[in-house]
Structures are given as C-alpha cells and as structure tokens.
Structure 1
Amino acid sequence: MNVLWIGAYPHYKFLQGHPVPWMTMLANQLASLPDISLTVVSYHSDISQDETIRLNGVTFVYLKVPDDKVDLLMGYSQRIKRMRAYLAEVEDGFDVLHIHGSEQQYQVMGAYTKLPTVLSVQGIVTEYLNYLPRKIDYRHASWRVAAYYEKKFLPHINHFICRTHWDTEHTLRLCPGAVVHQNWEPIRHEFYEPLNPRPNQATALLFVGGLNPIKGIRELLQVFDRLSQQGNFRLIITGAGNKIQLSALIRSYSLTNINLDRVEHRGQLNSSDLRATYEEAFCLVHPSYIDNSPNSICEAQLAGLPVVASDVGGVSSLITSGSTGLLTSLDVKSIADAVLTLWNNPALARSIADMARLVALQRHDAKQILQNTLKIYDAVMAAHSYA
C-alpha cells in the first residue's frame, strides 16, 4: 500500500517547533511494515528550495512556501496553490491520502484530490478561536483565516479519524453525514515507563503549557499563589517563555504570596528531560481553556503522574474524575482544592495514578493503534471504490 500523508511534520533541520509525536510515532510504525510505503509531504518557509529526503524508511518532501505572515496577507493562497499542484502531479502513485489536522489548510490542499482521503482531527479552529486573548495579535488574523477554510473545506472530506466526544461532535456538526472512525494516537516511548517509587512525597506542581494564556497560565499562577499560603510547594513550568517573562507575569497579577525561588521555568524540554521532570512532581496541573486530547495529559497518565485538569473540550474523554484524574472548573479555588486533595490524600493520588496508567496503556497501545489505522485505510479505500 502506497500511503501519502500531508501535514505539519517537523523538518529534520528545524526542530524548534512542536514535535507532533502523534505523527512521528505512527510514521515510524508504518515504515516498519514491509508492505507499506509512506511518503510525508509538508511545506516550509525556511528552506531555500523544495527538498526530498528518505529517513528511517520514510520519504519526506518539503515544499518551499512564503513566510507565514507574508502568505497570510494573501489568505494563505500560495501554500495552498503549491501543495495542490504537487498533489496533482503525484496522486496517481498512491493508494490513500491521510491529512493530519485542519488548522494549517491541509484539508484545503487535499480537497480535490482523486485519492481516497481521511483526515485526522487535531483541534477545531472554529472553537479555539473563541478563546484567544482579548489583546489583538497575529493569531487573531491567522486563526480567522484558518476557521474560514475549516468551515468551507472540511465538508469536502468524507472520512475522519476522531478520538474524543468533543472532536466527534464538532466534526459531525461541520460535516453532517461524514464517516467518523475512532482511533487514539501513539505516545512517545519514554512515557510508557512508570514513575519510580518515591520514599518522600514530591512537592512540585508541574505545568507544561509555557506562558500560553489559553493553556491557563494565569489560573495556574493564581492557584500557586493560593497554595503558597498553605504549604511549601514548588512550581515547575516547561514550554514557551523564560523565567524573566514569568517573573514579570507574576508581578503583573500582583501575586505577592509567590516566592520566586520556589518557581522554575525550564523552557522547552525534549521527551527524556520532561519524563525526568515527572520524578520531581506530585501532579500535573492542566487548567486549559480549550483542548481536545492534550498529549500532556496522556503522557502524564501513561507514566503514572496524577492529573488535575479543567473539564473543557474533549478532556473528559481522557479523565473520569476521581478515578483517572480530577476534573475542575476554571475557578481558581476549584483547581487549588483538587491539588490539595491529591496532596492531602497520598492513597487517593496513588490510586488515581495506577488507574490512569492502566487505562492509558490500553488507550495508547501502539500495536492496536497501528492495526486500527490500517483498517481505516482499507475502509476508506473500499468506500472510495464503491462510490
């Protein structure tokens, strides 16, 4: 089977962006099969010309496109035009097209191909748009253009891969009559290893959303300010930003109870370093405004780190509150109370960690996900032939 993927796959020379493990892990699995040939096509503005390279059994094609902000002025028409032209040239050599995500116009690029097509839903831009900060910035324009394309072109796709109740609901709202296939995503291998037993209770809260307002950095800091009055807690933040920006943010919120010596910002961590950081934490806090199935929750559950998360988007498809994590509102007291519940009840925290890991091991079974993917490809091709 000759499989063609299009999506925002990391360029091997430019690794500072999101690692998209749901793509990289599955690509490695598919490439290991003797009867599968996988080609991944993505666009990139930082290369000087189109590039084709074969790595680890996968053929990667990167198409040169204008800078994102330049192309935004033209409604991203240049990247769309470039990818459509390439697909028209090569589509006869493939059996199925797998589009990864609708946030970066890949569904527009693949809308008129002759190939049997399936799209894996990541986020729903039309929903995420509602949670942008009030201060106008580049994302307001970019996401509005993306939302326009999402509404207009998703209905051209007949088959989707979803994971949660939330992405299924919104996919069917945007595309009535579409066929939705359920399949989870593989997780980076470091997180399949369980946390080491710790004789002394770890004191750190872990937050992996950087300084992103949509991920709930304000609520997190307000929670930590409240908790700082009740115990000798630490806070570890990973992701975008740095300690100087974090300190300024704490001052801007007038959070006078926070001792900056008890707060760390470790920046962007690779999977090994993030997994090592788990050993210092007693819970992951995820007070996001909107999410589908965040990898941060899945990875923590898989490793056995208890999770406190806001009940938004598709998160409740990952967490049964009180069993595999604790769900809260975005109210600061609600979040703080949940964190204290884990802190004051080690047996409950251990029970939640064990049950979450058991469920996550089944949910992210790499072999089962691979088998499901192949079955979905077969179903999409069969439906295309019948039509």
Structure 2
Amino acid sequence: MIGIIYVGSINRCPYLKNYTSCLDELSIDYEIISWDRSASTQNESVEFTAKKHHIFNYPSKEQRNPIYKISDFYRFSRYAKKIIRKQKYEKLIVLTTMSGVVILKELRTRYKNNFIFDYRDASFEYFGPFKSILNKIVVNSSFTSISSKGFLQVLPKNMNYVMAHNCSSFETCIDNNKIKNSKVVVGYIGGLRETDYMKSLVDRFGNDDRFEFIIHGGGENLQELIDYSEGISNVVFTGEYQELQKSKLVKEFDLICYNYPNSFVNDLALANKFYDGLLFRKPLIGNNSTYSGKLIEKQSVGISLDFEDKEYKKKLYNYYINYDAQSFEESCDKLLAEIQSENYFYKKKIKEFFVNGN
C-alpha cells in the first residue's frame, strides 16, 4: 500500500494524477491523506481509485500570517502521522514542501530513501532553518521531482532530481480561423492573488487604443479590481471560469500575459501559463529578470521585457505586429518535444520506484 500526503485540497493538486495514474496502471493500492483547509466538502469529481481518502477538515486561511498557522500545521501533522503509523505504508509520495515538513521525522527514519518528494514552489528557502529542513527532505528522498529547473538555484547540489512539467497533454491547438482583431488582445488567465500587480497591468494597458486587456480568473479581490477598472473600455474582468472553458478562452488571446512581478516565489517558478503559450500557439509576455522570462527569450516563444521600461508597450506592440508566426510555431514544437521526452522519463522513474524501490 502506498501513502500519498498533501497539505491541501486535492482539487488544487492537478499533479496528483501523475502518481495515481501510474499506480492505477500498475494495479497498486494507495491511500491519500489531505487537508481541506476551507473545512468544506472536497469535490469528489476528482477522479482517483484510492482505497481510502483521509481528509483532515480544519479551517486555515491561506492569507493568515505564517506564524499563526504553525498550530494548524501541527494539528495536521498529528493527524497524518497517526494514519501513517497505523496503515504502515510501504512507500510514500510527498506532494509539496510543507507535506514533508510535517512528517520530517518519519521521512528520515522509517521512509528514508523510500519516498518521492514532489517540489513545486519556492517559499521560505531564504530562511536558514526552513532551508535546512527542506535539504533533509531532499537528501532522504528516493528522488525529488521539480516543476522548474530554476529551483536548482535553491535546492541542495548534486542530488537526484527529475523534471516534472506542469503539462499532461501535448495536443496542440493552432487556430487558423481566428479573426484578426483591430487591437492586440493581451490575455491574463488564472487566480487573481496580487492586487497591486493586477492594478499595475490595468494602468499599463488601460485606455490604449492599440490593446485590449482581458482577465479571466477569480479571487477575493476580484470585485476590487472590477471597481478599479470601471470606466476603462479596453479592460475586461470576466470572473471565475471552469477548467473545461480554458481552451476556448485562451484561443481569443493574441498574447498571454506572464510577466509576474519579481518575488522569491515568482522568480524561479514555471507556471501553467508557459505551457498554455506553447500548446495554444500564443506568444508569451515575460519578465526579463525571472527564470521564466529568460526561458521565454532563450526558446523564442515570446518576448520578455522590463516592466518599468518607458517603451514597454511600444516594444510589445512592435513585437506582435512583426513576429514570424511560422518560426514561433517551430520553436513551440521543438520545446514541446523536449518537454514530452522529460515527462516520459519522469513517469518511467515513478513506475520504477513503485515496482523496484530505491
């Protein structure tokens, strides 16, 4: 029996499928231990065939100060450890850093070299004690899967890392029937978490006849952003969307906005938007001082700029008007082939771990 640990709702863990699909294919039983931090019923439309799903129902707001969340994580730690000791899983899958932090003792003893650590986000690695704990999780894992090679800048050197892209489908979409707009449609899609950043985008593109700025996504600050953009005709907030709608929404973009502001979290990560650009054949707008922005430029799949550049919009507009669509699509094909190869190796390593062990 395999145990899968995740300190959150499985609805927000799409990469869970990377492991459950392999387990299902190999006919290996598994259980999931997760934490519904909103203390509501988790969406059982998420497909998996776990023998049992242990859900820790305890409210803990994401925006709460990390200091005050320590007691919440301690409660989940006790819950998870109790189940792990009772069920005596043969091996573990540890999804995200905090899932490993709360069961660190078990990972260094009973499950040493007998778990996969799935690392998805940088968070508090600049804090010495936290980084020390992270290093211990990596060192004791059978291997660590990473969703961005940028993370290698903060992870321990010379460990066993496997690239795990946030991309499960490689079905590309080239919409040759898209009607050319009189304006360049810049599209943002995803959760609206950073209010100041979104307002800066509204300020940047608002009331410029060359652009139309469309934002698909929800969040606690959605109404505030709608109010902020009131009266600006070329800026539209559409609100939350269902994942099945994403393809249709992205098709209407000319460029995908992926110029996240600099932060410890953003600088090294590689978001789903990067893959959306490749699959839907939409050039990406990146931040030239982040890992993703440099990758966009290196792979010729968009343009990366300094957001404070006084000629930002001029350079962006000229890029779109003059870019070579055929050359861009060839760059997308080349990069997607590399990604697909790395994902194949990732799945191979998962299966080898389940079947052969260390």
- Same fold per TM (> 0.5)? yes
1:281 and 2:253 correspond: yes
2:56 matched residue in structure 1:
64
Q: TM-score, normalised by structure 1?
A: 0.73
- Structure-2 change in CA distance of 1:50 and 1:268 (3 Å): closer
CA contact (8 A) 2:251 2:280 kept: no
CA contact (8 A) 1:308 1:335 kept: no
> Which of the residues 192, 195, 200 maps onto 2:179?
200
1:154 and 2:146 correspond: no
- Structure-2 change in CA distance of 1:38 and 1:305 (3 Å): farther
1:188 Cα deviation after fit? 5.1
CA contact (8 A) 1:216 1:287 kept: no
> Which of the residues 292, 295, 303 maps onto 1:315?
292
The Cα offsets for residues 87-117 of structure 1, whole Å up to 9 and x where unpaired, read as 2222x332x2121111xx2112331221212
1:194 Cα deviation after fit? 1.2
Code of the aligned partner of 1:93: Y
**Number of aligned pairs?**
335
- Which deviates more from structure 2 when the two are superposed, residues 69-78 or residues 196-205? 69-78
CA contact (8 A) 2:254 2:283 kept: yes
Moved >6 Å (runs of 4+): 48-54
CA contact (8 A) 1:323 1:355 kept: yes
CA contact (8 A) 2:205 2:213 kept: yes
1:282 Cα deviation after fit? 0.6
CA contact (8 A) 1:167 1:314 kept: no
Q: How does 1:317-336 map to 2 (within 5 A)?
A: 318-321=295-298, 323-331=300-308, 333=310, 335-336=312-313
For structure 2, the 5+ residue unaligned runs are none
The Cα offsets for residues 143-192 of structure 1, whole Å up to 9 and x where unpaired, read as xxxx68743522321232224332112112xxx66x23122235254x72
1:240 matched residue in structure 2:
218
CA contact (8 A) 1:222 1:332 kept: no
Q: What percentage of aligned pairs have identical amino acids?
A: 12
- Structure-2 change in CA distance of 1:75 and 1:45 (3 Å): closer
1:35 Cα deviation after fit? 4.1
2:351 matched residue in structure 1:
374
CA contact (8 A) 1:166 1:313 kept: no
The Cα offsets for residues 316-366 of structure 1, whole Å up to 9 and x where unpaired, read as 57424461222223325465245313321142x442244124412430455
- Structure-2 change in CA distance of 1:312 and 1:328 (3 Å): same
CA contact (8 A) 1:165 1:317 kept: no
The Cα offsets for residues 285-313 of structure 1, whole Å up to 9 and x where unpaired, read as 11212150101212221221111111354
C-alpha root-mean-square deviation of aligned residues, in Å?
A: 3.6
In the alignment, the residues of structure 2 paired with residue 199 and residue 61 of structure 1 have an alpha-carbon distance, to the nearest angstrom, of: 44
- Structure-2 change in CA distance of 1:308 and 1:355 (3 Å): same
2:96 matched residue in structure 1:
101
In the alignment, the residues of structure 2 paired with residue 7 and residue 217 of structure 1 have an alpha-carbon distance, to the nearest angstrom, of: 30
In the alignment, the residues of structure 1 paired with residue 255 and residue 291 of structure 2 have an alpha-carbon distance, to the nearest angstrom, of: 20
1:68 Cα deviation after fit? 0.9
CA contact (8 A) 1:5 1:97 kept: yes
For structure 1, the 5+ residue unaligned runs are 130-146, 252-258, 383-387
1:120 matched residue in structure 2:
118
CA contact (8 A) 2:147 2:166 kept: no
Q: How does 1:171-250 map to 2 (within 5 A)?
A: 171-172=155-156, 179-187=159-167, 189=169, 192-198=171-177, 200-202=179-181, 203-213=184-194, 216-225=197-206, 228-231=207-210, 233-241=211-219, 244-250=223-229
